[in-house]
Amino acid sequence: MPQNDLTSVSHASDTASTPRPRKVPRIVVLGGGSVGLYVARRLRKKLKKRDAAIVVVDPRPYMTYAPFLPEAGAGSIDARDVVAPHRRALKGIDVLQGKVTAIEHGRKHVKIQPEEGDEYEVSYDELVVGLGSVSRTLPIPGLAEYAIGFKNVEEAIAVRNHVINRLDVASSTWDADLRKRMLTFTFVGGGFAGIEALAEIEDMARYATRQYATIDASDLRFVMIEGAGRILPEVTEPMGEYALAELKKRGIEFHLNTFLSSCVDGHVVTSTGVEFDTDTIVWTAGVKANPVIKEASDLPVDKLGRAIVLPTLQIATEDGEIVEGAWAAGDCAAVPDVNNPGKFCPPNAQHAIREAVRLADNIVALHKDKAPVDYDHKNVGVVASLGLYKGVAELFGFIKLRGFPAWVAHRGYHVMAMPTGNRKARIMVGWIGQFIMGRELVSLGSLHDPRQEFRNASVPPKPMGEKVEQNAESSAARAESGAKA
């Protein structure tokens, strides 16, 4: 860690090692998502290198801006533009790429497992937990084997490639049942993530049918399975009903008050007795706090596995006793909503970014012997995309937008929230290019297994001990011999 010559990084197995003294306090930020990135950037802006060393730990080398995943999945935004590379966005901050496997706050150590090599430990003076969330799945038969999530950019692009690939294959398939299965796309979970993903992918797929002489837009079947009696619980009921009606007009099939019971080999069975076959199941039915907080840490957590925090974002026990030097925010923290006593701030990007700023400012305040301030942020509203040029929005509690104005509000808000001017500019240029030249529709399925073609071309190895004949011959010589023949 170049910020701090006297580091105390050691292999986890080296228990006899004694941490060496550090020149400056070290603040370790777990997670490089919205919370981690904004906390680290704010701290670096407020604290000079001689005041504190800042370290960010994340298994990925970039932050994913989740609200743009549906548009990335639909090809409205290039996948590279919905991520902010840590090395570029975190100037003057040390970045460790690895998975956090344990938090020992009693010793003020975290254990990190890099992608390759041995597990090691990093000590700290203050800890910020911004590990975010993971998909909340259920023990449904066939789910783990057949479904895909929509939580990161890799999954979003995989869904896009898969959907276009199904169109490609179905266009040359004459078996009616097989073709129907290929053109049936199922989404589970009717919250913001699920509805936006469904709407964007459906919009993209129906647009794509223009390129297939043998597929009509009406051949596509999009199905949403939702356990509650309504969709988009984040907006008011009238706006949710409007979104439902608009999506139904597009031919999307909704099964409300319905649960997925089984999906073995793509055969979907619901709790209401509906059955059908599909090649595509996208799971967006909620998230849960990163399990390492509950299963491999000594920090206090609530019954949902979230770190318990005060309104100041300091981690505390159930009795309200502050755990010194520990902070948390975002999806993995139960952040009290001071404007709605007894409730917690929703786990969305809007709150995560603002919590990160307040958390960083509170750390700086304590460094300057000032009192931390409660996180108090009234919800400025919610915006949701329902496909290209379509959306719903509720702003400041009284402005309600539908259709194109809501879509503009959605894009405008999120592009401003995207970190780094570089990414903002790239996204807007991409939008302009798409408007002028249309969507780019091509499946690059081999990206998910680039070695498959090479494996197929490979010949079986010779038995052990048998000599392999290899003759070196240039391509030019082979061409010459072929010409003579």
Secondary structure letter of residue 458 according to DSSP: P
Q: Which residues contact 177 (CB under 8 A, 6 or more apart)?
A: 277
Residue 225, pLDDT > 90, answer yes
Cβ-contact 434, 427 below 8 angstroms: no
Cβ-contact 176, 135 below 8 angstroms: no
Q: What is the CA radius of gyration of the chain?
A: 26
Cβ atoms within 10 Å of 107's Cβ, excluding its own: 11
Q: Amino acid letter at 422?
A: N
Residue 413, pLDDT > 60, answer yes
pLDDT score at 395: 86
Residue 259, pLDDT > 60, answer yes
Q: What are phi and psi of 281, to 5 degrees?
A: -130, 115
Of residues 187 and 476, which shows the higher confidence score? 187
166: left (phi over 0), alpha (psi -120 to 50) or beta: alpha
Residue 28, pLDDT > 90, answer yes
pLDDT score at 6: 39
Specify the residue for token string 């052990």.
Answer: 464
How many residues comprise the chain?
485
CA distances from 457 to 451, 452, 474 (A): 10, 9, 20
Whole-number average pLDDT of the chain: 88
> 7 pLDDT band (50/70/90 cuts)?
very low
Q: Which residues contact 168 (CB under 8 A, 6 or more apart)?
A: 443
| CA distance linking residue 105 with residue 124, whole number of Å | 9
Tens of pLDDT, residue by residue over 297-345, are 999 999 999 999 999 999 999 999 999 999 999 999 999 999 889 899 9
pLDDT score at 482: 58
Tens of pLDDT, residue by residue over 58-67, are 999 999 998 8
Residue 445, pLDDT > 60, answer no
> 208 pLDDT band (50/70/90 cuts)?
very high
pLDDT score at 4: 47
- pLDDT above 90 covers a percentage of the chain that reads 64
Sort strands 148-149 and 280-283 into parallel, antiparallel or unpaired.
parallel
| CA distance linking residue 414 with residue 412, whole number of Å | 6
- DSSP for 86-121 reads HHHHSTTSEEEESEEEEEETTTTEEEEE-SSS--EE
In degrees, to the nearest 5, what angle opens at C-alpha 181 toward C-alphas 157 and 455? 55
> 484 pLDDT band (50/70/90 cuts)?
low
Q: Which of 60, 152, 57 is nearest to 103 (CA)?
A: 57
pLDDT score at 430: 79
Instruction: Tell me the two tokens of residue 416.
Output: 């401003």
pLDDT score at 389: 86
pLDDT score at 5: 43
Residue 289 belongs to what H/E stretch? strand 287-289
pLDDT score at 480: 63
Tens of pLDDT, residue by residue over 147-170, are 999 998 999 999 999 999 999 999
Cβ-contact 422, 436 below 8 angstroms: no
Segment 234-245 shows an average pLDDT of 91
pLDDT score at 424: 84
Secondary structure letter of residue 59 according to DSSP: S
| CA distance linking residue 363 with residue 372, whole number of Å | 8
Tens of pLDDT, residue by residue over 397-411, are 788 999 999 999 988
Tens of pLDDT, residue by residue over 103-155, are 999 999 999 999 999 999 999 999 999 999 988 888 999 999 999 999 989 99
Instruction: Tell me the two tokens of residue 262.
Output: 């089984």
> 449 pLDDT band (50/70/90 cuts)?
low
> 69 pLDDT band (50/70/90 cuts)?
very high
Q: Which of 373, 391, 393 is nearest to 383 (CA)?
A: 393
> Alpha carbon 199 to chain centroid distance?
18
